[in-house]
Amino acid sequence: MNESAPAVEVVRLEFRDERTPYSGRFHDVYFSALDGISESRYVYLDGSGYLAALARENRRIEVGEIGFGVGLNFILTLDVFLKEAKPGQTLHYHAFERYPVHLDDLKRLYAAYPELAEASGMLLDHYPLLTPGVHSLRLAGGRVRLWLSLGDAKEQMSLSDFRVAHWYWDGFAPRQNPDAFDPGLFREVSRLSRPRAKGASFTSAGWVRRAIEASGFRIEKRPGFGKKRECIRAELDSEPPHQLQPLPPWFSNERVIPISPQSGPVGIIGAGLAGTAVARRLAESGYEVLILDPEGPGQRTSGNPLGLYNLQISKKPNPISRFAQAAIAEFLRELQELQVPHHTGILRTDLREAGPLMESAYPEDSYEITSRGIRLKVCGVVNPKELCRIRIDHPGIRLIRKRVTSVESTGNGFRIHVQEGPPIECAQVVTTLGAEYRLPDPQPPVIPHLDPIPMRPIRGQIILVPPMETSRGLQETLVEEGYASPVLPEISGVDAHLIGATYQAKTVLPDQEEIDRDLLIRESAKWPEFSGLNPSGSIQSRVGWRLSSPDKLPLIGPLCDPVLVAGLYGNAFRGGPVKTLPPIPVAPGEWTLTALGSRGITFSAIGSLLLADWMTGERLSIELDLIEHLHPARFFIRKLKRPGIS
């Protein structure tokens, strides 16, 4: 995403009547209450060939839409799928929208359409936080996936990679909304199309037809619906033009061989926030998962009684802020889907105005200004250990309480050696260990392709403070430099406030725990609720270690051998040819999700989604220019790019 790209604009509907939504921006109805449903079925579902494919094919059906609007085309597509799909069919739907509609207005609209209640209810129940970028929604038990990309459609498409067989081109009238029919946009449509892909639109304007034809589609006019004279459908008249992928070759995934549930179990090393999140994603997709951890789920740093899920605020978009924004949106979906106990409400006492949130493109209804600061209405706290437990509560996941000593490739799979007992055989292996991977006690396992990556453990300490007369009434988590929670025994399991957290990256002194306890007590005095906290009172400390990378972003994706990477790309970074370079040489079947730093709760949600889709060959649910900031091989590439490297 370009830093100067306009933010997503959440719009409110106007209603001509309860069944007719109207756009004040484009001065047009989204659809007509009289015949809008029938028109959409005729123009898009029939015109694009979707209905014929649903009746004819037994495999996955891929649909793309430019102009999601109020979601009517998706709801109709989903409605037909739920009623008519064969047992083995699945639906993938890729939609793009610059002006998403507020959830409250969608609820009002579809309350007037009870005939669409099942399909519209699924969309409304999973409707995302309306932030820029890609939102991945799983519906109908995972048989249906909706990727809703918010922002400029041409830009979002240029940062995507998938293949569609049926297109809906549904902007408002071309004169009012020319961006939805831009020639450059249709070139991206062509790039993202399957051979012989079909598309349909309500408009037959000459300049729109010429833009579609110039991108390789053959246009056919057909009678319009109702009083409209004609509409169009189109078919890609040739193979999609070969173009370079959005990623450079050293971060492409062309050498990654997708796995299938029949290929054998997936072994996951570590049952913290990262490991349990990956295990859940794969199990929900039908994979057998073996998760290895001698202490069980969420026992190390993930074992704090409470942890924050919070917004990352930045003056300008950057890789960390963009990834963190995708992370909070994905975690909110997981929170709802798994029904994780949580407490909502964070009060940022260091913020007095909404400017930073607006610049970070968070929707206005996600926060409010109060006399003490800005209240983040969508953020809060959960119990990380309970989150881990809920994630692995699935019949496809088996927890093995053994300590891993090493991982060995067998050529067609892996042998995970454990401290006691026979080795564990698996088809793929995912390393999700946290700071224990870089701490000497106990001896960490040997993971050859992960060992060379630079990572370091970061010490963090919290304190548990008994409630006082001034603090017992606290209802929200206070956040500034550090944080302080309300007393939430029903979630945390303790009758105490949690105050944290330190960040100790350098030398740890022998009396560090006492030093940090006193530091946290002093810092909490900035809040009136804790200004009278007695250092000699009944205060408990808990120390944990986080694993962090040099650029503060996690490692997500396939592992690579740095020697092979250097041999393949070293010459190119010294002036050799780049365009003809092959894809990065990955270590087949070896993956990682680690180095989540201090944002393990939210980063594990989006990280596990990306990793699971990467492993199974699905579309990655993020703008692809971020992959080079997440790929485990990025540090090898950066080292090769430095001048003077021999």
pLDDT digits (tens, 9 = 90+) for 265-307: 999 999 999 999 999 999 999 999 999 999 999 998 888 999 9
Nearest-angstrom CA–CA distance, 626 and 323: 8
Nearest-angstrom CA–CA distance, 365 and 128: 13
Over residues 630-641, mean pLDDT: 92
Q: Residues in the chain, how many? A: 646
pLDDT band, residue 33 (cuts 50/70/90):
confident
350 CB-near residues (< 8 Å, 6+ apart): 373, 479, 480, 481
DSSP tag of 217: E
Percent of the chain with pLDDT over 90: 77
pLDDT for 37 = 95
Cβ-contact 607, 272 below 8 angstroms: no
pLDDT for 95 = 98
Q: What is the pLDDT of residues 378-387, one digit of tens each?
A: 999 999 999 9
Q: What is the pLDDT of residues 120-145, one digit of tens each?
A: 999 999 999 999 999 999 999 999 99
pLDDT for 646 = 36
**What is the SS3 assignment for 177?**
coil
Percent of the chain with pLDDT over 70: 96
Over residues 242-258, mean pLDDT: 74
Query: Which run of H or of E encompasses 14?
Result: strand 14-17
Nearest-angstrom CA–CA distance, 48 and 233: 7
Residue ranges in 310-425 assigned as alpha helix (H)? 319-337, 355-359, 384-391
CB contact burial 599-634 (16+ within 10 A = b; e otherwise): bbbbbbbbbbbbbbbbbbebbbbbbbbbbbbbbbbb
Nearest-angstrom CA–CA distance, 614 and 624: 12
pLDDT for 471 = 96
Query: Which run of H or of E encompasses 489?
Result: helix 489-492
410: how many CB neighbours lie within 10 A of its CB?
11
Geometric angle at alpha carbon 179, from 99 and 67, rounded to 5°: 45
Concatenated DSSP letters of 405-429: EEEEE-SSSEEEEESSSSPEEESEE
pLDDT for 575 = 67
Over residues 331-338, mean pLDDT: 97
pLDDT for 246 = 67
Nearest-angstrom CA–CA distance, 565 and 395: 39
The residue among 258 and 428 whose pLDDT is bigger is 428
Nearest-angstrom CA–CA distance, 632 and 614: 13
pLDDT at 67 over 90: yes
pLDDT at 107 over 70: yes
pLDDT for 6 = 55
Cβ-contact 449, 429 below 8 angstroms: no
Nearest-angstrom CA–CA distance, 287 and 282: 5
Query: Residue 250, class by beta-carbon neighbours within 10 Å (0-12 exposed, 13-18 middle, 19+ buried)?
Result: buried
Nearest-angstrom CA–CA distance, 30 and 44: 14
Query: Residue 400, class by beta-carbon neighbours within 10 Å (0-12 exposed, 13-18 middle, 19+ buried)?
Result: middle
Nearest-angstrom CA–CA distance, 633 and 646: 18
pLDDT band, residue 241 (cuts 50/70/90):
low
590: how many CB neighbours lie within 10 A of its CB?
22
Two tokens at 318?
């950057």
Count of alpha carbons within 13 Å of 366, Cβ hemisphere only?
22
pLDDT band, residue 252 (cuts 50/70/90):
confident
Q: What is the pLDDT of residues 140-151, one digit of tens each?
A: 999 999 999 999
Which range, 241-250, 532-541, 631-640, has the best average confidence (pLDDT)?
A: 631-640
pLDDT at 103 over 90: yes
Q: What is the pLDDT of residues 139-182, one digit of tens each?
A: 999 999 999 999 999 999 999 999 999 999 988 777 888 888 88
528: how many CB neighbours lie within 10 A of its CB?
12
Distances from the Cα of 450 to the Cα of 176, 438, 550, 555, 642, angstroms: 53, 11, 15, 10, 22
CATH topology of domain 342-383+456-546: D-Amino Acid Oxidase; Chain A, domain 2 (3.30.9)
pLDDT band, residue 594 (cuts 50/70/90):
very high
386: how many CB neighbours lie within 10 A of its CB?
18
Nearest-angstrom CA–CA distance, 321 and 47: 41
Count of alpha carbons within 13 Å of 318, Cβ hemisphere only?
9
The CATH homologous superfamily for domain 14-236 is Vaccinia Virus protein VP39 (3.40.50.150)
pLDDT for 645 = 42
Query: Which run of H or of E encompasses 147?
Result: strand 144-150
Over residues 364-379, mean pLDDT: 96
Nearest-angstrom CA–CA distance, 372 and 476: 12
Which range, 85-89, 338-342, 447-451, 638-642, has the best average confidence (pLDDT)?
A: 338-342
One-letter amino acid of 219? I
Over residues 188-196, mean pLDDT: 93
Residue ranges in 540-599 assigned as alpha helix (H)? 562-569
pLDDT at 244 over 80: no
pLDDT band, residue 249 (cuts 50/70/90):
confident
One-letter amino acid of 549? S
SS (H, E, C) 530-550: HCCCCCCCCCEEEEEEEEECC
pLDDT at 3 over 60: no
pLDDT band, residue 4 (cuts 50/70/90):
very low
pLDDT for 314 = 83
Question: Mean pLDDT score of the chain, rounded to an integer?
Answer: 92
Over residues 9-13, mean pLDDT: 95
Nearest-angstrom CA–CA distance, 134 and 136: 7
Beta-strand pair 586-594/428-431: parallel
CB contact burial 61-70 (16+ within 10 A = b; e otherwise): bbbbbbbbbb
CB contact burial 306-328 (16+ within 10 A = b; e otherwise): bbbbbbbbbeebeebbbbbbbbb
**What is the SS3 assignment for 149?**
strand
pLDDT at 405 over 70: yes
Residue ranges of domains in the chain: 14-236, 263-306+384-455+549-646, 342-383+456-546
Beta-strand pair 230-236/193-201: antiparallel
Over residues 369-393, mean pLDDT: 97
Over residues 310-329, mean pLDDT: 92
Q: What's the start-to-end Cα distance of the chain, in Å? A: 34
- Which of 495, 507, 638 minimizes the C-alpha distance to 562? 638
What CATH code would you report for 263-306+384-455+549-646?
A: 3.50.50.60
283 CB-near residues (< 8 Å, 6+ apart): 289, 394, 395, 396, 397
